[in-house]
Amino acid sequence: MAISMVAPVLGQFALLVMMIAERRWMFLCLVIPGLIGCLASAIAAMAAHRRRTVSEASSDTGQPPPDGRDAMRPDAARCATLRPRLESLLGLEPSRPDHLWRRIARNWHEASEAQRIRKQTVLDGMHAVAVGESDKGRTTTLNLPKAGPHALVAGTTGSGKSVLLESWCLSLACRFPPSMLNFVFLDFKGGAAFRVLHRLPHTVGFVSDLNLDHAVRALRAIETELRRRERVVAEHHVAGTDELDDPPPRLVVVIDEFHALRQQLPDYMTQLVALASLGRSLGMHLIACTQNPMGQIGGDMKANIGLNICLRVRDPLQSTELLGVRDAAFISPQHPGLAYLFDGERRMAFRCAMPVSATALTHGCDHARRFLNEIEATPLFSPPLPNMVEWPGLDTVSKRPLDAVSLGLLDLGVRLEALELPLDSGNIAIVGPERRGKTSVLGLIRRQLAARPGLEIVDVTVSGTGYERTTTMGSAPWHEGRRSSATRAEDAPPPPPRSTRIWLVDDADALLDPLYTDALHDEFMRTLADPHTPVVFALSSPRHLRFPDHCTIRVLFPTGDRTSDMMAGIPSQALSSCTDDDWRTPGRAMLLIHGQARLIQCFRLAEE
C-alpha cells in the first residue's frame, strides 16, 4: 500500500532532478505540477487509509476513535450517567408488595373502564409506556400501536437488549390486564431472555430454540389467530379490531435473536410477513430483536416496521441501517442499556430502565389478576406431543356402555386435547408393526370397557391352535371362552337381555384373509358388517383391510417407510409433517377419522 502511494512521487522527483542537472528549464516547468499532484494524491490516500483503519478498529472494540470525531454524542454521554429504575418510572414501590399489586390493579381497572366506555383517545395515550430516561431526565416512553405498529431492536451481545425487552414488556403488563394484552415470547437464545416474563398472566405462548417443533407450532398458531381476527373483522364490517364492541386483546409477539429464527426456520417466515403486513388493524404487533439488522429483515417486513431501537452495535453500517446515523456504533461497552430511538419523527438517546425485581412485578400482576377476578389468558398454542403419557386411571373414564374411550392425547396442529375415541361411529382398526403399541391400545380399551355395567365384551385372541373367544359381562365373566375351532356360532349361549355387545379382536390378520378356514372367520365377517355391533380389531398389516367396508376409524402406527405408510392410508401431507421421532416413539400413531389425519400419543399403562 505504501509503495503504491510513494512510487509515483519518487518517479516525479527523479525526473525533476534530471531536468535540473541537464538545465532543461522548460521541461522543468512541466514536471513540477506533476510532482505536486502526485504528492497531494499520496497524502490524501494515506489520510483516507488512516481513517479507514481507525473506523474498523473502533467498530471491533466499540470504542470511539482517538481523534474523537465520531465519539458519543453529548446527549448519549449524559444518558450514560443515568441509572433509572423501572418501578420508579411506573410509580411503584418494590419494597411494599401490597402497594405494588394495588397500583397495578388500579392501572388495569382504568384501562378496562376506558375500553368499556370507548374512550379511544385515553387508550391511545395509555399505550405510551415508560422504558427509560433521556439525557434531560425525562421519562422515555414507547407507544407501539402509534409509532410502530412493529419494532426492530438491534444490539450486540452484552448491549442490554434483554433488559430493554424485559422492562418494555413489564411496563405494558403493569398497564393493561390480560383481557386487553397478551404476549407470545419466542426466544432463540436458549430461554434466558424471558425466564421471568413467560410467567406473566398475559403470556399465551413461550418457546425457546431448544425445541424447534414447538416454534413451528407457535408460528402456525400466530397465523391461525391472524386469520381468525380477519374473519371477525370482516363479519362485523369494521376496519379493525378497535372498532369491535368486544375487541380481542392486543397480541404482542416478541422474538429474541430474530436472525436465528430466520436461519433455522426459513420456510415459516411468511407467517411473520403476514403479521407485519396485517397486524396494525388486527391488534397484533411484532417486536423483533437481532444482533445484526443488516440483511435479516426483508423489505416487505421493513416497510411495516416504524419503530427502530439500536443499542451498541459493532459496525457503523448497522447503526446507519436503523437510525440513519453511525452513533450507536460508538457506544462504549461500559454502558449497557444505552440506546438510540428512531420512530420516523425523533431520533434520541436514552438509558433503559432496569427493574429492581422483575419477579416481584410478575407476582404483583398475578395478585392483581386474582383480585380483579381476571380470567387468565388462554394459551394460543401448546407444546408438541410428549413422548409418553401415563394413563390417568378408571376414575376419569366414562361409565356409559358405548360411549367413547379415553385413548391419549390428540394433536390438532396448534393445540393438544384429550382423545376420546367414539365407539358408536363404526368399527375401529388398529394397524401397526410389532412392538409399536397396538396390542397395548387394545388392552387399554379392554380395561375401560370392563368397568362398564351392561356391556357384553366378546374378546378374541390367538391361542396355540387357533382363535379363542371369551365373553364377559360388565365386570364379571358370564361365559368362559373356548377355542373357536371347536365352537360354532349357534352353540354359543344367548347374551343377556338388553345388553350391548362389542368385539375386541387381537391379531385379526388371519380372520380378514378370504382364504382362512377357521370357524370364527364367517362370524367375524358378519359382525364387521353389522352396524349395531362395533368391532375393535388389531392388525399387523393392512394388506387385507378394506376401508370403509371393514372400518370407519383407523389408528395407524407408522413404519417409517413412506410408501408403506401411504399404502396403509396415511396422507402424504400428514407424513411430511412428521419427524423421525414420531416413527420411533412407542404409542405414537396417526388417527384417521372423518376424513382427517391427526397425530396421537396413546396412554401408557402402568404395568408396561
Say if 559 falls within a structural domain. Answer: yes
* pLDDT value, residue 582: 79
Q: Which of 30-44, 52-66, 105-119, 350-364 has the highest mean pLDDT?
A: 350-364
Supply the pLDDT for residue 485.
42
Domain contains 354: yes
Nearest residue to 601 (alpha-carbon basis) of 389, 382, 381: 389
Per the domain annotation, does 378 fall within a domain? Answer: no
Q: Is 432 annotated as a binding residue?
A: no
Average pLDDT, the chain: 83
From 160-169, 321-330, 365-374, the region with the lowest mean pLDDT = 321-330
157 is in an annotated binding site: yes
Same domain, 132 and 259: yes
Residue 572's pLDDT is what?
86
Greater confidence (564 vs 6) lies with 564
| Mean of pLDDT values over 516-521 | 82
Beta carbons of 361 and 575 less than 8 angstroms apart = no
Residue 42 pLDDT more than 80? Answer: no
The pLDDT of residue 356: 92
Q: What's the full length of the chain, in residues?
A: 608
State the DSSP code for 209: T
**What is residue 184's predicted lDDT score, i.e. its pLDDT?**
95
**How confident is the model over 417-436, as a mean pLDDT?**
88
**Per-residue pLDDT tens over the stretch 267-300:** 888 888 999 999 999 999 999 999 888 877 888 8
Q: Does the annotation place 161 within a ligand binding site?
A: yes
The answer to whether residue 589 is domain-embedded is yes
Convert the pLDDT of each residue in 569-589 to its tens digit. 888 888 887 877 777 888 899
Any known ligand binding at 399? no
Residue 597 domain-assigned (yes or no)? yes
In angstroms, the CA 108 to CA 130 distance is 16
Same domain, 37 and 90: no
The better pLDDT of the pair 440, 1 is held by 440
Structural domain that includes position 366? 76-371
At residue 128, the pLDDT reads: 92
Last residue of a domain, one of 323, 339, 371: 371
Asked whether residue 355 falls in the same domain as residue 394, the answer is no
| Domain shared by 575 and 449, yes or no | yes
Same domain, 499 and 365: no
Helices (H), 148-257: 161-175, 212-235
Q: Check which CATH number belongs to the domain holding 233 and give it.
A: 3.40.50.300
Evaluate if residue 122 carries a pLDDT over 80: no
- State what percent of residues in the chain have pLDDT above 90: 34
Instruction: Note whether 237 and 304 are same-domain residues.
Output: yes
What is the reported pLDDT for 607? 58
Cβ burial of 141 (10 Å; 0-12, 13-18, 19+) is: middle
Residue 156 known to bind ligand: yes
What stretches of 310-383 show up as alpha helix (H) in DSSP?
316-323, 358-371
Beta strands per DSSP E along 495-583? 500-505, 535-539, 553-556
Judge whether residue 411 has pLDDT over 50. Answer: yes
Residue 54 lies in a domain: yes
Amino acid 64: pLDDT: 46
pLDDT computed for residue 480 by the predictor: 40
Supply 39's cell numbers.
504528492
What is the pTM (predicted TM-score) of this model? 0.77
Mean per-residue pLDDT for 493-509? Answer: 72
Categorize the per-residue pLDDT at 397 as very low, low, confident or very high, splitting at 50, 70 and 90. Answer: low
Flag whether pLDDT at 28 surpasses 80.
no
Q: Is the confidence at residue 5, as pLDDT, over 80?
A: no
Q: Do 413 and 366 share a structural domain?
A: no
In this structure, the answer to whether residues 424 and 558 fall within a common structural domain is yes
Q: How many CA atoms lie within 13 A of 406 on its CB side?
A: 19
Q: How many helices (H) and strands (E) does the chain have?
A: 20, 22
Is 308 part of a structural domain of the chain?
A: yes
Shared domain for 359 and 282, answered yes or no, is yes
Per-residue pLDDT at 294: 84
The answer to whether residue 34 is domain-embedded is yes
Q: Is the pLDDT of residue 527 over 50?
A: yes
* Predicted confidence (pLDDT) at residue 133 exceeds the cutoff of 90: yes
Please give the single-letter amino acid code of residue 216. V
Of the chain, the percentage scoring pLDDT greater than 70 comes to 88
| pLDDT the model gives residue 69 | 40
Residue 464 annotated as binding site: no
- Do 130 and 39 lie in one domain? The reply is no
Q: What share of the chain is helix, strand, coil (3-state, %, to 5)?
A: 40, 25, 35
User: Tens of pLDDT along 149-201?
Assistant: 999 999 998 898 989 999 999 999 999 999 999 999 998 876 567 889 999 99
Half-sphere exposure of 393 (CA within 13 A, CB side): 1
Instruction: Report which listed range, 92-96, 258-262, 470-474, is most confident.
Output: 258-262
Same domain membership, residue 217 and residue 145: yes
Asked which of 343, 371, 399 is the last residue of a domain, the reply is: 371
pLDDT of residue 108 exceeding 90: yes
- Structure confidence at residue 345 (pLDDT): 82
The answer to whether the annotation marks 563 as part of a ligand binding site is no
Same domain membership, residue 579 and residue 466: yes
Query: Is 160 annotated to bind ligand?
Result: yes
247 prior amide bond cis, ω within 30: no
Q: Considering its fold, how many domains does the chain have in total?
A: 3
Q: Which of 338, 371, 404 is the last residue of a domain?
A: 371
